[in-house]
Structure 1
Amino acid sequence: MADYPNNFPPLPSFIPLKPCFYQDFETDIPEIHRTTAKRLYYLWMLNSITLAVNLIGCLAWLIGGGGAVNFGLAFLWLILFTPCSYVCWFRPIYKAFKTDSSFNFMAFFFTFTCQLVISIIQAIGISGWGVCGWIATISFFSTSVGAAVVMLIPTIMFTAVALLSFVALTKVHKFYRGAGGSMSKAQEEWTTGAWKNPHVQQAAQNAAMGAAQGAMSPNQPQYSATPNYGYSNEM
């Protein structure tokens, strides 16, 4: 398997840190999964941007007479959840699409379900939790209309993230189960260690790419040693 230099996150040259991951949808992800993988990446970006906007909303909340605890927690959520969400749920689904790995699919389902629950809690907006959700925003209109209007922006964004996360989880789970994926298959990968074997990963990737090419050539018979996760890329 060819080694490529890490290119994500794309840090400026003056920062004395280097990228931690290699990410290239065009070379890593089979064409049949590429659109969905990109949409999940955009969802991660939207969630990160929402956390940044939430920090601004909590600053307006503080200036309008709210507590400083919310602003401090909002800053913590931004610096904590942005990298953790990338590592904990986006990287597993990226590797699942890349290597056809049931173990990584299961890791994604577990962590992304937690992400969905967190997004719902953020959209609700319990005061003192560092998020501008519906409860906190609506109740603050009686204190400061201007601050509440600013708080309304991240509230709507949190709601959108929660809805899109539910749709994404449903779509990925539907095609994975439809292709014969199961917990027992993931356990088998874990037991045998096949999920971390680079040669097995390369073989799975080649098989998936071959299946995609065969699907575009209707006059050729299609054979695949691994499940072909063919599905609609709409999300």
Structure 2
Amino acid sequence: MSGNPFDHNDYNTNPFADSNQIQADVPLTEHAGKAEVGQDYTSYTQYSDNQSSVYQTTSTAAPSNSADDSKNAAKAAELRRREEELAAREREIQAAQAEAERVRTQGKNNFPKFYPLIYMSIPAEIPKAHQATVKSIYIIWLALLGTLGLNFLACMLMLFAGIPNGAADMGVSLGYCFTITAASFLLWYRPVYNAFMKEMSMYYYFYFIFCGFHLLFSAYMFLGFPSTGSAGLINMIQVFNGSHIFAGILCVFSTALWLAQACGGAFFYLKVHRHYNQQGHTFDQAKAQVTSSAVRSEAVRNAAWSAATTNRV
């Protein structure tokens, strides 16, 4: 056996060398037998490159998504604002159309003439068969205003004449000129007007209740107790006993007008009640109408509150 047994190629390699380093140092194009090593290296480097690109894409996409979210939020807020503006304009248009329809069917506000707040026209709104009754009740209401004014003048003259409690009578009578004027229109004249216009039981009941109070008040003022704000019968006698002729004459007119209020009001009270019975109105109908009106008013208030809160938002 000749030759060196350690002269074989397989024994010329360093057993302590790093095999990975050896594979990495082998050129991929020199030895075809090392193709598998080249493929492994190439896939490793491609995996490293892909992973780096993923990291880069993720790091660059995050701020982009944040910017897109901000833009979308701004667009959504702008859309909400425009929707609210369109809803407010729609409500304004509907209100204007309703007002135009009311003016077309009823007319513009005409009462009171010095500062029109409501529309009121007996020929236009009251059935022809009941226009005379409603007009007569309106005249009684106008006469009440004149009675209150004359009663105040008579009480003022009673004060100047030195009648006891004249100051109290004048002060109370002045308060009547404002409170009774508004209360009488709202509580018994307007309800009877609406009752004949709409033929609803609840308006008749409002009239019966508050016109009854008015009749009692007229009788009370006719008697003319001292310090009650009335230039009625008792105060009239005191004025004539003091020989205050001019003040006494005004007290006579005031007393007569209060008596006319009581008598005229009672006459039409009975007439309206007769019509109420002829039409077959009942207390149950009145209760049902009051309940229905309360429900509608609650719905209107809720809608108004919702609209107000929406506009604030």
Please, what TM-score do these two structures have when normalized by structure 1?
0.77
Aligned residue number for residue 32 of structure 1: 129
Instruction: Answer yes or no: is the 8 Å Cα contact 1:103–1:195 preserved in 2.
Output: no
Residues 14-93 of structure 1: pairs in structure 2 closer than 5 A: 18-66=115-163, 67-93=166-192
**1:192, distance to aligned residue in structure 2 (A):** 3.2
**1:195, distance to aligned residue in structure 2 (A):** 11
Paired AA for residue 185 in structure 2: Y
Q: Of residues 246, 255, 259 in structure 2, which corresponds to 1:159? A: 259
Partner SS state of residue 226, structure 2: coil
User: How many residue pairs are counted as aligned between the two chains?
Assistant: 191
Aligned residue number for residue 116 of structure 1: 215
Partner SS state of residue 21, structure 1: coil
Aligned residue number for residue 7 of structure 1: 110
**1:194, distance to aligned residue in structure 2 (A):** 9.6
Aligned residue number for residue 168 of structure 1: 268
Q: Deviations over 1:52-100 (max 9, x none)?
A: 0111111111111122111111111011111221111111111111111
Residues 102/194 of structure 1: CA separation in 2 closer, same or farther (3 Å cut): farther
- The answer on 1:98 being equivalent to 2:213 is no
- The answer on 1:149 being equivalent to 2:149 is no
Residues 30/163 of structure 1: CA separation in 2 closer, same or farther (3 Å cut): same
Q: Distance in 2 between matches of 1:60 and 1:144?
A: 13
Instruction: Answer yes or no: is the 8 Å Cα contact 2:150–2:250 preserved in 1.
Output: no
Instruction: Answer yes or no: is the 8 Å Cα contact 2:187–2:210 preserved in 1.
Output: yes
Aligned residue number for residue 22 of structure 2: none
Residues 87/153 of structure 1: CA separation in 2 closer, same or farther (3 Å cut): same
Q: Deviations over 1:28-61 (max 9, x none)?
A: 1110111101011000000110000111111111
Instruction: Answer yes or no: is the 8 Å Cα contact 1:69–1:128 preserved in 2.
Output: yes
Q: Distance in 2 between matches of 1:33 and 1:195?
A: 30
**1:196, distance to aligned residue in structure 2 (A):** 7.1
Aligned residue number for residue 279 of structure 2: 179
Paired AA for residue 89 in structure 1: W
Q: Distance in 2 between matches of 1:195 and 1:25?
A: 29
User: Larger relative contact order (C-alpha < 8 A, sep ≥ 6)?
Assistant: 1
**1:156, distance to aligned residue in structure 2 (A):** 0.8
**1:155, distance to aligned residue in structure 2 (A):** 0.8
Instruction: Answer yes or no: is the 8 Å Cα contact 1:88–1:108 preserved in 2.
Output: yes
- The answer on 1:125 being equivalent to 2:228 is no
Structure 2 unmatched ranges of 5 or more: 1-100, 298-313
Q: Distance in 2 between matches of 1:160 and 1:92?
A: 21
Q: Deviations over 1:3-32 (max 9, x none)?
A: 332110000xxxxxx312110111111101
Residues 131/37 of structure 1: CA separation in 2 closer, same or farther (3 Å cut): same
Partner SS state of residue 141, structure 1: helix
Aligned-residue CA RMSD (Å) = 1.8
Bigger radius of gyration among the two: 2
Q: Distance in 1 between matches of 2:280 and 2:123?
A: 26
More helix by share: 2
Q: Of residues 287, 293, 312 in structure 2, which corresponds to 1:193? A: 293
Structure 1 unmatched ranges of 5 or more: 12-17, 198-235
Q: Distance in 1 between matches of 2:156 and 2:294?
A: 48
Please, what TM-score do these two structures have when normalized by structure 2?
0.58
- The answer on 1:139 being equivalent to 2:238 is yes
Q: Distance in 1 between matches of 2:292 and 2:244?
A: 59
**1:140, distance to aligned residue in structure 2 (A):** 2.5
